[in-house]
Amino acid sequence: MERVHSLRMMSIFLLLHCLIIMSLFIAATTANTSSTITDRDALLALKAHITHDPTNFLAKNWNTSTPVCNWTGVACDIHSHRVTVLNISSLNLRGTIPSQLGNLSSLQSLNLSCNRLSGSIPSAIFTIYTLKNVSLGKNQLSGEIPTNICSNLPFLEFLSLSPNMFHGGIPSTLSNCTYLRILSLAYNDFSGAIPREIGNLTKLKVLYIGANRLQGEIPREFGNLTELEQFSLPTNNLQGIILNFLQFYSSSACFCIHSFVH
């Protein structure tokens, strides 16, 4: 009698154990499915905004028969299955950037560089709190940088917009992206003064703002940028600017340089 009782207790215990493990497993695999669907829809919106894809990269690799995390150029967090990296650089893609991309709310690295994308950057991109790297260089993008660019990007380390056709002023509020290490705004159509607040970005290692229509003095505060290793500034020494910039591009292997030097 005793034995039967303890056996029964044991099987109830085991059953409970199984139930807990099963529910944990279900929770893990179904967690945030609505977020992963949102990620998929955001990438499908991007695909729909690409008007020309000469290597059929998106047509071949981005389809709903495979999970988003298996798509080429996409990487996900292994636990949440949220998209953390989007790299579709150097594919000669034409088209525009849809605002739905701003729904990739776990994205850390966005690389759309070396394509032929046009239009402006949707402001929704600047609401992705987790962003660290943004490479949009070597496209045909235009518009202004919004003054609230850094309001929701506390972790931004890498911002490259060169070369493109952005205009307007360089916002002084860029200094709120306090972790910026690489800032490349060169080869655009920026005008106005160079904001002294950039001198607050003391982690800057690379600063390219040359080859724009900026005016005035280089702020004294730039003397505070003690980590700076490479820079181009709007001086008369255009040769120097190009040299620095070429070095940057050859070291970062974006082999699409010829077309804009000419």
Which residues contact ligand NAG (rule: CB under 6 A)?
A: 31-32, 35, 38, 41, 61, 63, 65-67, 70-71, 80, 85, 87, 89-90, 99-100, 102-103, 105, 108-109, 111, 113-114, 124, 132-133, 135, 147-148, 150-151, 158, 173, 175-176, 196-197, 199-200, 220-221, 223-224, 252-254
Q: Which is nearer to ligand NAG, 158 or 231 (CB)?
A: 158
**Considering the complex, what minimum distance in angstroms separates the CB of residue 191 from ligand NAG?**
20
Q: Which is nearer to ligand NAG, 162 or 232 (CB)?
A: 162
**Considering the complex, what minimum distance in angstroms separates the CB of residue 174 from ligand NAG?**
10
Contact by Cβ (8 Å): 83, 75: yes
Question: E strands, the chain, where?
Answer: 50-52, 74-76, 83-87, 94-96, 109-111, 116-119, 133-135, 140-143, 158-160, 165-168, 182-184, 189-193, 206-208, 213-215, 230-232
Contact by Cβ (8 Å): 183, 174: yes
**Considering the complex, what minimum distance in angstroms separates the CB of residue 200 from ligand NAG?**
4
Residue of this chain nearest to ligand NAG (CB atom): 109
Instruction: Return the SS3 of 55.
Output: coil
From residue 26, alpha-carbon distances to 81, 83, 203 in Å are 14, 20, 43
Q: Which is nearer to ligand NAG, 4 or 253 (CB)?
A: 253
